[in-house]
Every structure is written in C-alpha cells, then in structure tokens.
Amino acid sequence: MKMIVLYIVLTFASLSCKSGTKPANAEVDQEQKQGMISQADSPDQLEAKDSSFYLKASKEKDGEICLKYRLNHTNAYKEFCFKYFDYSDVVFPDTSVGIISGDSFRQSSYYLVHDSILILPLIGMNNLLSVYVLNLQSQQVLNSDVRTSFSLVWIDEKSSTFLTTDTPDYINDTTFLYKLNKYKIAGGEMSLIKTDTAHLKVDLKDDVKINYRIARRLLH
C-alpha cells in the first residue's frame, strides 16, 4: 500500500513539473536577443530626446554628419550638417561623455551646454574619441576633431568646462604622462583656459574612476 501511495505522489510531482512555466533560460535567451537588436540598432546614427530637447545625428555618405534637432522653448525642428573626419564605420560610441555633478558623475553619448552648445564626441583615429563642439543656435562649428586619449570626455556641469587629454608620453614600462586640456564654453564660444599634466599607471589608463578623479581635480 505504501508503495502505491509513493508511486501516486511521484507521478503527480512529475506531471506538475511538466505543466509548469518555461524554464528561466528561455526568458534569458529572449532578453539577450532583444538586447542584441537594440545594441546593433545603428552604429551610424544617434537619437536622443527628452521633454526639452530632441536630437538625431546621422552619418551621411559624403563625409558629413547631419543633425535634426529641436531646442528648448522652441517648437520648430532645424537641420544642420557639418564635415567630419571619417576614420571608422562606427561613428557614434555608446558612451563618450562623463558628466560631473557634485561628488558623482553619469555617462552619456553627448552633452548640451546652455541649451544650445552641443558637445558631440565621435569615434576617430585609432578608435580614440574625436570631439566636435557645435553651436546649434547659430549653426556654427566652434571646434572640430579635438582628440582625447581618455575613454570619456569629462564635463563639469556647474562650470561648463570640459577636459581632453593629448596622446600620452611614454615614461617607462609602467607609467604614462598625460597632458590635460581644460576648455570653457561661455557666450557661445569655446576657449582653452588651462593645461596640466598627470602621471598614470599603464594598467589604469582606462579606469573610469581614476580618470574621474583626475578630471574632477582639474575641472573644479
């Protein structure tokens, strides 16, 4: 009798398992597929929007980046194209800007200063960032192909200053020397206001937290 009861319990448990939901890995696979589609959306296009700003940047065949945008407090969309140095099939990096706000930072693929000055890093020579600074109000290129060796262009939100780094000098097998360039955007113009240097261990050159500390020291 005990054997019969045990058999019934085991059979019921087996049927319950078969009639359950899909295994967890099926949902993970679906999420991975969706993530891949989103990630591969378009390496030659950037689109960003919020309640006060819209931007769509596209790579054109004739060596231009074309923008369609709507600024804050306006209803009209404008278009503006500018020449760029075409070094790579992939133009727009996923993240390219580190925005310092107080004692923390966030990452983005662009930054807008004073509601109209666009800082737009593109992928340049040797897969390093090449920074374009554009006045969307007057549709002028304030500066182009400003290269930086760090993985992000560091921007201080409060002071409207940003940091780029020249190609580092080799000191020894463990250390690089970086030249740091501090720019300020004021009155619709961009100017270099300070330079400095920093020694950095080779194995830490791509460490975002270390780069943040260096940028924060110079920009604050």
Kindly compute the dihedral angle of the four CA atoms of residues 187, 97, 194, 143, in this order, to the nearest 10 degrees: -50
87 within domain boundaries: yes
Q: Is residue 30 part of a domain?
A: no
Residue 152 is assigned to a structural domain of this protein: yes
**Which residue segment(s) compose the domain that 138 sits in?**
40-219
pLDDT-based confidence at residue 90 (cuts at 50, 70, 90): confident
Q: What is the CA radius of gyration of the chain?
A: 25
pLDDT, one tens digit per residue, over 12-45 is 444 444 334 333 333 333 333 323 222 224 678 8
Task: Please give the structure tokens belonging to residue 75.
Answer: 């209803």
- Evaluate whether residue 95 is within a structural domain: yes
Question: What's the first-to-final CA gap in the chain, in angstroms?
Answer: 81
Phi, psi of 61 (to 5 degrees): -75, -20
Q: Which residue has the higher pLDDT, 149 or 14?
A: 149
Does residue 99 fall inside a structural domain? yes
pLDDT at 199: 94
What is the SS3 assignment for 174-201?
CEEEEEEEEEEEECCEEEEEEEEEEEEE
Encoded tokens for 207: 């460490």
Q: What percent of the chain has pLDDT over 70?
A: 80
Residue 22 belongs to a domain: no
- Strands 111-113, 104-108: parallel, antiparallel or unpaired by DSSP? unpaired
- Choose the weakest-confidence range: 27-41, 54-68, 95-109: 27-41
Q: Is residue 20 part of a domain?
A: no
Q: Does 31 map to a domain?
A: no
Task: Scan for tokens 């970086």, then name that residue.
Answer: 178
Could you tell me which residue, 60 or 9, shows the higher pLDDT?
A: 60
Average pLDDT, the chain: 82
pLDDT of residue 63: 85
How many domains does the chain fold into?
A: 1
Mean pLDDT of 136-144: 95
pTM above 0.75, yes or no: yes
Q: Report the relative pairing of strands 175-186 and 169-172 from DSSP bridges.
A: antiparallel
| Contact criterion met (CB below 8 Å) for 67 and 59 | no
Place of tokens 């709507």: 70
Q: What is the pLDDT of residues 150-194, one digit of tens each?
A: 999 999 999 999 999 999 999 999 999 999 999 999 988 899 999
Q: Which residue has the tokens 């206001």?
A: 193
